[in-house]
Amino acid sequence: MKTVLITGTSSGYGRETALYFHSQGWNVIATMRTPRPDLLPESDRLRVVELDVTRPESITAAFEAEGPIDVLVNNAGVPSMGVFEGTPMARVREVFETNTFGVMAMTQAVLPQFRERGSGVVVNVTSSVVLGHMPLSAVYKASKMAIEGFTASLALELAPFGVQAKTVEPGACLTTNFAARATNGRALDALVPAPYAAFAKKTMDDVTSQDVFTKESDVAETVWRAVHDTTGQLRFPAGPDAVRLAQAK
């Protein structure tokens, strides 16, 4: 029986992916910064583990406690929306700490066991913002584009050892709490200097009114497909809007 470790499983894509792998008979290590076992079903094949991807000691403790895994899904992420001119650099660093450096730290921690065993898959969840042009996402897109480039190069380094690295690119999911988290608990207006107000309002109206969007289940199923793909495909758009953007490129 195979084991997957998934970061950021308290809600959204991460929670749905944990449920999906569990339903397929896998052992699931569902990690959260603040463990909430009640968010997932009780099972001897599912363990909720505390893990903060921005803290090296937390990463080390989780891997030492849980032992070997077959798949790592780097899903934990910090959303960010706002006009770049109005985004504090402290917020920029916070986004990169989780979305970029946290993914790299988790990946570096798991690679020795994958390389020595000659098998393993790393799936990095990015975003469809890497596929198109979306305003108000400069910081978020930069953090995710970095992981796209990181994964593309990493996949080449790992191939001789039988280890794979891939990205899953979810579209816009209008049923998650992305927008609320994206402003770090502040009103979007606080991150939009007055000259940008009309532009920002139109952009947000367009995003929230789109009729084609991604469901959590689209992402979970795409992660599953990426893990099992043997064609060498590197990038997997998830959700009809992401697929449409990928086809338009």
C-alpha span between 221 and 199 (Å, rounded): 35
Write down the catalytic residue from 13, 20, 140, 196: 140
Do the Cβ atoms of 119 and 158 come closer than 8 Å?
no
CA distance 237 to 212: 14
> Would you tell me how many other CB atoms lie within 10 Å of the CB of residue 156?
10
In whole angstroms, give the CA distance from residue 228 to residue 231: 9
Residue 29: helix, strand or coil by DSSP? Answer: strand
Tokens (6 digits) for 246: 């990928």
Residue 30 near residue 9 (C-beta atoms within 8 A): yes
Catalytic status, residue 20: no
CA-CA distance, 213 to 146, in Å (whole number)?
Answer: 24
Q: Shortest CA distance to 134 belongs to which of 124, 123, 145, 120?
A: 145
**Active site amino acids:** 140
